[in-house]
């Protein structure tokens, strides 16, 4: 999961929500990046999840 370097505070919240969804025994890796591209709509997001790419 890529996180914008400005959003370090979100990591704990994201881990907690992922553990609630996928179970307590899961581990998560974060990569901090300087920029996350905007969506086509012009909106921005705080993370990029790479799970679909791994399935």
- The token duo for 18 is 């992922």
How much is the pLDDT for 41?
94
Task: Give the residue extent of every domain in the chain.
Answer: 2-54
Given a cut of 80, whether residue 1 has pLDDT beyond it is no
Which DSSP symbol is given to 12?
H
Q: What is the pLDDT of residues 9-53, one digit of tens each?
A: 777 788 888 888 888 888 777 787 888 888 899 988 777 776 766
How much is the pLDDT for 7?
61
Q: Residue 19 and residue 38: Cα distance in Å, rounded? A: 27
Contact call for residues 38 and 48 (beta carbons, < 8 A): no
């Amino acid at each position: 999961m890529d996180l914008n370097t400005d959003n370090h505070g979100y990591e704990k919240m994201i881990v907690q929500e992922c553990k609630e969804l996928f179970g307590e025994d899961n581990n998560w890796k974060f990569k901090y990046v300087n920029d996350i591209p905007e969506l086509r709509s012009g909106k921005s997001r705080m993370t990029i999840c790479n799970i679909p790419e791994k399935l």
